[in-house]
């Protein structure tokens, strides 16, 4: 395989640049006041607006390691072309604009671009006006692209040139795409317990990417505000407190079709045995899937205390057995099948519609999502070789015959 970094046709850095944009935007918005808003791919890569209405057009450049900006770097001058168009459009020196260039590369120490750095090194001697330095650099170009930009620049008078250039700031040596997550976790998630930061960052970035897609596709028209990130981060962090657990499978469904009529799993067989309609069985399959996958996610993230799930299942079984004894109290061996079916349906209705509202059946106090309880009962009803809960009063005596018929 050809090395990605040496292949002359590789578009790796360009591809990283597209991915870098939303990830860097998340970091930058966390660094700015919560009242700051952001738009993407409007006038520039990113467009920030503060509470006073000052607009900052921001260009991003994710460059190969060791890349440098020099006097005639197209990365800088192509951004200048974008900024000039907005400067003209918004009233020139009267425009409430700033122009930022963030690059993972570094500005050459001999380039006049060093005077645009946000934290320039102390300079020896007196430098010429920025407009003069820019004109001197442009006079040396042989690039048709930069020559065209130079014509746009020379449309400004001397005062406008100086004013325009003083609005530009370059931030070089910026974090690379792989560095951004650790910066966010270390600097902006200090209130989150260290062992949960990876999981919470993953959820935060997943939410952020969805918001960005909505913005770029036009599904969302208003800008994104910094306080939205703070609010979402706070919500995620709350789910990892000692009395809570994150709910990440709400609304999720298994891959492929749900076959309520022929699904051979024991918990589905049980529901068919008491005559539950297919649409309700489909809901049960969804609850089972969500609860099972949610438990797996909690286990992968080491969120459960040792023995916690076993103790929780014991509580479910205990509560089920108490309700079962009440519903089945008047039944006997002579009870008609219709009576048995009604009793089974009544017991299942409690588990399906009422148990999710019971505080005593929550795995933790603040875990209120119903599928955790409903799906928990279906998981218990699916236990082999014998289910820990059942619905039909005679199911346990019929289980061998029923399972044989489904195999």
- Mean pLDDT rounded to a whole number for the chain: 91
Per-residue pLDDT of 175-192, as tens digits, reads: 999 999 999 999 999 989
CA separation, residue 170 to residues 104, 105, 291 (Å): 11, 11, 50
- The confidence score (pLDDT) of residue 402 equals 62
- Strand partners of residue 40: 46
Average pLDDT over every residue of 145-158: 93
What are 303's two structure tokens?
Answer: 């969120």
Average pLDDT over every residue of 322-345: 94
Locate tokens 């209120």: which residue?
368
Structural domain boundaries of the chain?
Answer: 12-177, 266-406
- Strand partners of residue 101: 59, 170
- CATH architecture of the domain 12-177 equals 3-Layer(aba) Sandwich (3.40)
The residue ranges of DSSP E strands in 95-185, in sequence order, are 97-103, 106-107, 168-171
Q: For the whole model, what pTM was predicted?
A: 0.79
Residue 125 binned pLDDT confidence (cut-offs 50, 70, 90): very low
CA separation, residue 81 to residues 77, 112, 151 (Å): 6, 18, 10
- The confidence score (pLDDT) of residue 126 equals 46
Rounded Cα distance between 340 and 27, Å, is 61
Residue 399 binned pLDDT confidence (cut-offs 50, 70, 90): confident
Residue closest to 41 by CA, chosen among 206, 215, 205, 167: 215
Average pLDDT over every residue of 45-65: 95
Q: What is the DSSP letter of 157?
A: -
Average pLDDT over every residue of 255-283: 95
CA separation, residue 80 to residues 6, 58, 74, 354 (Å): 30, 11, 9, 64
- Strand partners of residue 97: 55
Given a cut of 90, is residue 251 above it in pLDDT? yes
Which H helix or E strand runs over 269?
helix 266-273
Per-residue pLDDT of 359-384, as tens digits, reads: 889 999 999 999 999 999 999 999 99
Residue 397 binned pLDDT confidence (cut-offs 50, 70, 90): confident
Contact 16, 203 (CB under 8 A): no
Given a cut of 70, is residue 1 above it in pLDDT? no
- The confidence score (pLDDT) of residue 2 equals 37
Average pLDDT over every residue of 261-267: 95
What are 123's two structure tokens?
Answer: 């300079």
In the chain, pLDDT over 90 holds for what percent of residues?
A: 84
What are 62's two structure tokens?
Answer: 């994710």
């Amino acid at each position: 395989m050809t090395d990605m970094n040496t292949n002359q046709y590789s578009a790796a850095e360009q591809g990283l640049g597209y991915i870098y944009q939303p990830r860097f935007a998340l970091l930058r918005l966390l660094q700015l006041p919560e009242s700051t808003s952001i738009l993407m791919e409007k006038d520039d890569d990113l467009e920030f607006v503060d509470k006073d209405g000052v607009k900052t057009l921001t260009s991003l450049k994710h460059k190969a390691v060791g890349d440098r900006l020099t006097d005639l770097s197209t990365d800088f001058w192509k951004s200048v072309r974008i900024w000039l168009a907005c400067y003209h459009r918004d009233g020139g020196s009267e425009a409430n604009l700033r122009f930022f260039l963030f690059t993972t590369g570094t500005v050459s120490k001999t380039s006049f671009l060093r005077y645009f750095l946000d934290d320039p090194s102390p300079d020896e001697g007196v430098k010429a006006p920025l407009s003069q330095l820019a004109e001197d650099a442009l006079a040396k170009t042989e690039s048709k692209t930069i020559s065209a930009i130079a014509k746009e620049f020379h449309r400004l008078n001397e005062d406008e040139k100086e004013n325009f250039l003083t609005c530009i700031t370059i931030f070089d040596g910026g974090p690379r795409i792989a560095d951004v997550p650790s910066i966010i976790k270390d600097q902006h998630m200090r209130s989150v317990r260290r062992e949960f930061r990876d999981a919470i960052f993953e959820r935060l970035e997943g939410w952020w990417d969805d918001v960005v897609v909505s913005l770029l596709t036009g599904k969302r028209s208003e800008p994104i505000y910094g306080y939205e990130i703070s609010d979402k981060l706070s919500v995620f962090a709350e789910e990892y407190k000692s009395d809570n657990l994150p709910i990440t499978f709400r609304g999720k469904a298994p891959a492929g079709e749900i076959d309520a009529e022929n699904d051979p799993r024991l918990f589905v067989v049980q529901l068919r045995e008491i005559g539950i309609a297919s649409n309700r069985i489909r809901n049960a399959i969804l609850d089972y899937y969500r609860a099972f996958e949610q438990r797996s996610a909690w286990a992968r993230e080491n969120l459960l205390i040792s023995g916690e799930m076993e103790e929780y299942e014991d509580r479910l079984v205990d509560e089920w057995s108490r309700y079962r004894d009440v519903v089945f109290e008047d039944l006997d061996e002579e009870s008609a099948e219709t009576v048995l079916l009604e009793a089974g349906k009544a017991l299942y209705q409690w588990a399906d519609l009422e148990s999710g509202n019971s505080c005593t059946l929550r795995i933790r106090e603040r875990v209120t999502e119903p599928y955790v309880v409903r799906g928990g009962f279906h998981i218990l009803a699916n236990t082999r070789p014998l289910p820990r809960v059942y619905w039909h009063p005679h199911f346990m005596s019929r289980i061998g015959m029923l399972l044989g018929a489904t195999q």
